[in-house]
Amino acid sequence: MGAQQSHPIPNNHHHQQQQLPSDATNQQQPIRRKIGEGCSLFGTANSGKSTLYYLAKHILRKEWFYSSKIEFEHDLQYACCSMMGKLWSILEESERKQMKGLILERFESTLDKIEEIIRIKDWDLFDSFPQVSNFDFCELLIHVWKIPNMRELYEIRWNEISLNISQYCNEHKNSINLHSRLNLQMLENLPEFLENIENPNESFLPLTWCYECTNSSKQFEFRYGYFRDVGGARTERRTWMQSLASMPETIFLVISLSEIDQYLAEDDSQTLRIQDTKRMFKFMNSIPELMDTRKIVLFTKPDILIKKLQKGVTVNLGNSFQNET
């Protein structure tokens, strides 16, 4: 059992006081700069910041290509497991029952405990992934995606919830925890992710398509200093000033273009995510001690924005950032 024969693999595996944004409630103290070089990523949850951190780690450490087939297989299986779990979570109960029957029909000979491994109700496999990683989640995801009408069903379900993730998660709060709802938007990448599986290239890094939202700050060292992800959830922003105290020469501000018509997933408010991003942008540009710090704005997910516009989504941003530049 395993994924060795079920999907293609790339041929080469070497492969003053300022007010903090929402929920940063600690009293702010003036920044005391420390000597050091490096850069940090700031961005809201689901902005793509964690994926950029993951990419930077590979690039700056010169680990762009996988060193072994086993390493690639593990990441691919984990990514497929994550995608399958999120896809399963947005299906209706009747649709799950139908899918379960079709899954059993194809995988019955290799799944001894389908209820235990797939966990039909929640599909919360992330903590137990090492114990079930000998199952081919890549083959399962491809099989489910090829079921007749599955792509249309995915489009219908995702379009229903993508505009207001917060409302959807509130209605399903008994079965969807905060960690899951923050990561639900990885489904934006599902069609492109599957295209990369079927037509991989040497630079295909599976986790960049479904990287989990960070729950805390983290960093890695490289030749010229450090690279830090400060965390983006609203409950984590109270630690931002601590990160800024040892901050460096460069600040990256990550803004997702796909969030323009979405509401915050972390609470029941009707706050547009773009407004939350605007507050972060304003905050970072209003700290006197950081006036001379180089700031680079990175816009992510333009492909998702294009697809939304093609589907007729209309958004009036007005002059949202006119006074912040």
The binding site for Mg(2+) comprises: 214
Count Cβ atoms below 10 Å from residue 164 Cβ, excluding itself: 16
* Token pair listed for 30: 């003036």
Q: Which segments are annotated as binding site?
A: 214
- Contacts by residues 119-127 (CB-CB < 8 Å, ≥ 24 positions apart): 120/88, 120/96, 121/175, 122/89, 122/175, 123/84, 123/85, 123/88, 123/89, 124/85, 124/180, 125/81, 125/85, 126/81, 126/82, 126/85, 126/212
Write down how long the chain is: 325
Q: Are 304 and 258 in contact (CB under 8 A)?
A: yes
Pairing relation of β-strands 225-229 and 38-43? parallel
Kindly list the distances between the CA atom of residue 304 and the CA atoms of 45, 53, 115, 240, 257, in Å, as whole numbers in the listed order: 16, 20, 34, 28, 8
What span, in angstroms and rounded, lies between the C-alpha atoms of 205 and 82? 15
